Amino acid sequence: MTVPDLLRAELIRAAQELGAPEPVDPVLERPRDASFGDWTTNLAMVLARPMGRKPRELADAIVGRLALHDVGMRDARIAGPGFINFWAEPARVTERLRAVVADRAAYGTAGVGQGRPAVVEFVSANPTGPLHVGHGRQAALGDAIAALLAATGWRVAREFYYNDAGVQIQNLAASVQARIAETVSRPAVIPEGGYHGEYIREIAERYVAEHPGDRSGADIDRIREFAVAELRREQDRDLQAFGVRFDTYYLETSLYTDGLVDEIVATLARADHAYERDGALWLRTTAFGDDKDRVMRKRDGTFTYFVPDIAYHVTKWRRGYARAINVQGADHHSTVTRVRAGLQALGMDIPPGYPEYVLHQMVTVMRGGDEVKISKRAGSYVTVRDLIDEVGRDAVRYFFLMRRGESHLSFDIDLARTQSDENPVYYVQMAHARMSGIFRVGGIDPATVTGDGVDLSLLAAPEELALTNALLDYPALVLGAAEALEPHRVTTYLHDLAELAHRWYHRHHVLGEAPALTRARLVLARATQIVLRNGLALLGISAPERM
């Protein structure tokens, strides 16, 4: 058990001895001001009313029953209206650095998922063009969420759902067909809702080169098949450049060819959750919390977009994914209720909150204080590849992840290119490089630093204790970020950790000190290197040893 776990258990014991009603669930937090100790709890204020006691009086009674030394605390004081602040015994804190350097890459992992399967679906772009920056933000979020779940014991599959059916694909084929017409000097008429980027012209040229028997572009079905395949390959190249891989790809068209869409509609009709009106087939989504019923099959016989979505999520359930997480743009907000309603209406015992959704806002790209809107190749939007080419994969990933997904993100190209402390990813990576530099200058293999026989109580300076406390908070940080599906917590933590590491590095020498102190500080440097590397790895970002 960690020090906070021990302290929490001791608080529960003390409160129960005083007659506190169950359950007792103390919340322990780090005080913002270090002068208020290492940990603080509002437990006395929470229990005061149900126990009929004044908060400060109850806090005093709780403190009186605590065996502080047994849980590594040297002092407890009451503050304000009833907060209890705790000061840890420094030697008990630094002693735990041994576990950090022993666990190495495994430090911060947990087994709460117990190997249960989970699928994270993300990006899932229509194969109609290169990936734009919104897809990039989604790729970074989905990949980091999958990594967090894997780090906490889930057996995770990353999945890409190809929307390779529908009006967008028809418009893609017609757009390529129009560009093919230009090659034989016919006027090109891009349909309304069609695609205008330079990539459309490139696809048209490749089609003509590979299909000499259809130089005029008369075979629209073949054009559609060719264009989709070309753009799937292009999107794969974009994802490879971004360092994102998928375990499975699922095609929307397969839901129709396998008959699953028809099966789902028939099942809903048999269950009396569907009805005909005005020539259309409707789903009674109001029976499951929607504000109005929704059309499933339109008058022309085509299905609305959420029907194949329901069928697709049935496949996830049937494939054994009791947990499914979808990372999508905020424009999919209305999809949440409809898909969940359809799944509930099927009567398959799928949980009401299935699937889980992480919705994100879009990205604004800035350069020189002005918004960048157009990519020459895409025609009307900035692509992920544009950003990667400009600032590199690491910066793109970090910037996409450093804000809560629900928040709008402004991507400052100039800042991302800057090699200074103002650039957050550079700042974090430099902290890792500095820790690595200590070992390089000392001619020491960091893997040989184990902490065995080292007197870690010598790490008594305020900067050393603050840095150690932050390192010991990492496992709880990972667990919390995984539970909340919020990777931005990791970027915030890493930036704060880097600040502590830089401060310690500037104020205290490691090499050239008394041998016992040097050995202790090498353990701290090694632990810091490990945690920075582990945290960056969760985000898919490199940890350079030189900058």
pLDDT band at 481 (very low <50, low <70, confident <90, very high): very high
Among residues 111, 131, 115, which one has the least CA distance to residue 123? 131
**Preceding omega of 446 cis (within 30 degrees of 0):** no
Among residues 35, 78, 28, which one has the least CA distance to residue 58? 78
The predicted-structure confidence for 133-183, as pLDDT tens digits, reads as follows 999 999 999 999 999 999 999 999 999 999 888 888 999 999 999 999 988
Query: For residue 214, what are the CA distances in angstroms to 172, 187, 231?
Result: 18, 17, 20
The confidence score (pLDDT) of residue 376 equals 64
What stretches of 57-193 adopt beta strand conformation (E)?
73-79, 83-88, 117-121, 155-162
Contacts of residue 83, Cβ cutoff 8 Å, sequence gap at least 6: 40, 41, 42, 44, 45, 59
User: CA dihedral defined by 28, 31, 35, 38, rounded to 10 degrees?
Assistant: 40
| Structural element, H or E, at residue 367 | strand 363-367
Which domains are delineated in the chain? 3-88 (3.30.1360.70), 363-417 (no CATH), 421-538 (1.10.730.10)
Q: Scanning the structure block, which residue is given the tokens 């002693």?
A: 95
**Per-residue pLDDT averaged across 262-274, rounded?**
93
| Alpha helix segments (H runs only) across 122-279 | 133-151, 167-183, 198-210, 220-241, 252-257, 260-270
- Residue length of the chain: 547
User: Residue 335 is which amino acid?
Assistant: T
The predicted-structure confidence for 64-103, as pLDDT tens digits, reads as follows 999 999 999 999 999 999 999 999 999 999 999 999 999 9
Helix pair 220-241, 384-391: axis angle to 10 deg: 30
Which tokens is 228 given?
A: 């989709």
Could you give the CA distance from residue 383 to residue 133 in angstroms, rounded to a whole number? 5
Whether the predicted pLDDT of 291 surpasses 80: yes
The predicted-structure confidence for 108-125, as pLDDT tens digits, reads as follows 999 999 999 999 999 998
The model's pTM? 0.93
Could you give the CA distance from residue 470 to residue 286 in angstroms, rounded to a whole number? 48
